[in-house]
A and B are shown apart, each in its own frame.
Chain A
Amino acid sequence: MTLVLVEVEDGAGNGAISEMSREALTFARRIAVPLDALVVGRAAAGVAGELGEYGVSRVYEASGSAFESYAPAAWAAAVVAASEASGDAGKAVLAAGTPRGSEVLAHVACRLGVSMAANVVAVENEEPFTVSRQVLGGAALEEMRLDDATVVLTVAGHTTEAQPAGTAVTCQVQPLDVAVSEQDLAARVVRVEPGEADASGNLKSAKVVVGAGRGAGGPGGFDDLLELTELLGGSLGVSRVVTSLGWRPHHEQVGQTGNRISPDVYIPCGISGAIQHWAGCSSAKTILAINSDPDAPMVTKAHYAVIGDMHEVIPAVNAEIRRRRGA
């Protein structure tokens, strides 16, 4: 069976399946249906209905003291136990290409003694099993063969649109016994420290992101951008140049080594559009670039552009929004 490790986000009631896990479930249906799923460290009953809509007929639930705080190896033990319980024919284990999904499946691949393909975007061939996956932050794709008895892969974020199955199935919750050794708990989370509230807001889930690059000119060059961010109710995201020059904190960075965003609207200002930045923002539905260089990659890849100095354009835009609001 095809097994998907599902990440559940806190939310109303018993939580909801994360967007990227829903994408992974959608992708998994291309390999085989019906699906099995695994939820670790919390009750699966709250998401069983939603899992059924995505074609999952059985969800394993691994709970108990071993899963109270996150220990990647313990989670991997749960995945291996679920995969064994799920039956042998056409085995595949999938997770979303999130930090946690990638980490746990790397452990799983080691435990099973098989290869792992990270950030897969497509199945190219069933026999031999061949996938395409993102390399160079998505600037190139690699066709990769997976010749092992069990296929282990993570699904690249925002490359498959999450869609419920045509026909919903009844999803049954099955508690899973997992043998977790002391060694599996050796590296574990001992506490979680809440993040500081700042202009980056919830960058990864923001509907509007205003981006800033070298064109900001210096650490004092962000006031107008922050005002626009506030007027639009969005988040600020910056290019790597900005964080490596120390103008803004690293957690605001969008790109291959920063955040991957997928807003409805992304407004990159003074960002040239190196492939490392594009890796983090290419999933935006609409891109409106502001740049003084009409040939900058960010402009040619955008849907809309304003050609000009961001320090002239943004204050005028802010004033126009305020004027229309009658403020």
Chain B
Amino acid sequence: MDVLVCIKRVPDVAGSVALTEDSMDVDARHVGYAVSPHEECAIELAVQVAKATDGAATVLTVGDEDAVEQLRDALAVGCGAAVLIEVEPRRYGPTDVAAAIADVVRDHEAQGRSYGLVLLGNDAADTGDFQVGVRLAYELGRPVVTGAATVEAAGESLVARVEAPEGAAVFEAPVPAVVTVMEGGVEPRYPSIPGRMKAKRVQIETVTPAREPVGSGRVRLHLPPVPPSQVEVLGKGAEAAPAMVDLLERLGVVR
């Protein structure tokens, strides 16, 4: 079964966030870019499902030409082909992204490449829309499971496990289907040197969307106010233990 995995290039912010001058984007000039942990796991699952079913994994992104970096990273860990839907990312909202991906899925199907499974991350690390996978499923008229830790092909259906504190909910859905992935079910592999070399040679299919985007509704970004530090230091090292236990007693957690 052929698998399509959709990823997003996002700012790799860990410390403080900076915004662009027009407050419409995160200023990522000093932090670099990555794909989210959910999507790293989606790539791994795409490669595993494709291998187990004698199919191929294709990676796709909707972004600017710099997003080729993230496509090459996915090619280096086992995807066989890559598609860049080249857009100006800030003009594209979740509805637009889903529509653009759906158009490519249909085009590839018309050319004889049908994806039994389309994987995405559960939510983008930057915009956190929590809906692109579901919108894509509706565009394509396919069933969808969100937040899966693992997914396996079982004949004409898929089995996806969604982990929750009370246990794992096991979903079944007929193929073709869309599944969004949450981190935790698989360990993403590291690229090998030959994997990197091979990734460099893959010709990336570049597509320009036919439809005009409707946008995301973003008015602007702003940063929540950072309250001044009010930390009360109880002490240093092991000597602080009595002061710490005094506090835990006052808070009612040590009795």
- CB-CB under 8 A from A103, the residues of chain B are 130, 134, 146-147
Q: Please give the distance in Å from B187's CB to the nearest CB on chain A.
A: 8
Q: Is A319 an interface residue (CB 8 A)?
A: yes
A145 — which chain B residues lie within 8 A by C-beta? 217, 219
Is the CB–CB distance between B128 and A135 below 8 Å? yes
> For chain A, which range describes its interface: under 10, 10 to 19, 20 to 34, or 35 or more residues?
35 or more
Q: Is the CB of A143 within 8 A of B131?
A: no
A136/B165 contact (C-beta < 8 A), A141-B221, A190-B171 known? no
B200 in contact (CB, < 8 A): no
Asked whether A116 and B131 contact (CB < 8 A) given A186-B173, A232-B253, A317-B245, the answer is: yes
Confirm or deny: A194 has a beta carbon within 8 angstroms of a beta carbon on chain B: yes
Any A CB within 8 A of the CB of B223: yes
Segment touching B, from A29-37, A84-92, A302-310: A302-310
Nearest Cβ in chain B — how far from A68, in angstroms? 14
The 14 sampled A-B contact pairs (Cβ below 8 Å) are A99-B146, A110-B131, A116-B129, A130-B219, A138-B224, A187-B171, A187-B173, A253-B184, A257-B38, A264-B252, A275-B14, A275-B17, A297-B15, A303-B232
- Is there contact, CB below 8 Å, between A251 and B218? no
Interface-lining segment among A16-24, A44-52, A171-179, A199-207 = A199-207
Among B19, B133, B144, the residue within 8 A (CB) of A140 is B19
CB of A118 within 8 A of CB of B172, answer no
Q: Is A73 an interface residue (CB 8 A)?
A: yes
Please name all residues of chain A whose beta carbon is closer than 8 Å to the beta carbon of B38 when the two chains form the complex. Answer: 257
For A115, the closest partner residue in chain B by CB is B217
| B positions within 8 Å CB-CB of A | 13-17, 19, 26, 36-38, 93-95, 123, 125-131, 133-135, 138, 143-147, 162-174, 177, 182-185, 187, 216-224, 229-245, 247-248, 251-254
Are B221's CB and A140's CB within 8 A? yes
Q: Which residue of B lies closest to A130 (CB)?
A: B219
Sort A-B residue pairs by CB-CB distance and give the 9 closest, nearest first. A250-B184, A316-B241, A316-B238, A187-B143, A187-B173, A308-B237, A106-B134, A186-B143, A106-B131
Q: B158: nearest residue on chain A (CB-CB)?
A: A187
In chain A, positions 294-324 with a C-beta closer than 8 Å to chain B are 294, 297, 299-309, 312-313, 315-317, 319-321, 324
Q: Which chain A residue has the least Cβ–Cβ distance from B226?
A: A301
Contact of A294 with B217 in the complex, beta carbons under 8 Å: no
The answer to whether A312 and B166 touch across the interface, beta carbons within 8 angstroms, is: no
In addition to A106-B131, A139-B17, A145-B219, 12 A-B residue pairs with Cβ atoms within 8 Å of each other are A118-B128, A140-B19, A140-B221, A143-B222, A146-B217, A232-B248, A264-B253, A276-B14, A294-B233, A299-B231, A306-B235, A320-B244
Are A99 and B162 in contact, CB atoms less than 8 angstroms apart? yes
Residues of A within 8 A of B (CB): 70, 72-73, 97, 99, 102-103, 106-107, 109-111, 115-119, 130, 132-147, 154, 183, 186-195, 202-204, 207-208, 231-234, 240, 243-244, 246, 250-251, 253, 256-258, 264-265, 274-276, 286, 288-289, 294, 297, 299-309, 312-313, 315-317, 319-321, 324
Contact A303 B184, beta carbon cutoff 8 Å: no
Taking a contact as CB atoms under 8 Å apart, the answer to whether B245 and A195 are in contact is no
Knowing A130-B219, A188-B171, A321-B245 touch, does A308 contact B14 (C-beta < 8 A)? no
Determine if B17 and A140 form an interchain contact, defined as CB atoms under 8 angstroms apart. yes
- The answer to whether A305 and B131 touch (CB under 8 A), given A187-B144, A192-B168, is no
Chain B residues closer than 8 Å to A258, beta-carbon distance: 183-184
Please, which residues of chain B bring their CB within 8 A of the CB of A111? 138
**A103-B134, A192-B167, A194-B166 known; A72 and B144 CB under 8 Å?**
yes
Shortest CB-to-CB span from B76 to chain A, Å, is: 18
A93–B15 alpha-carbon span in the complex (Å): 35
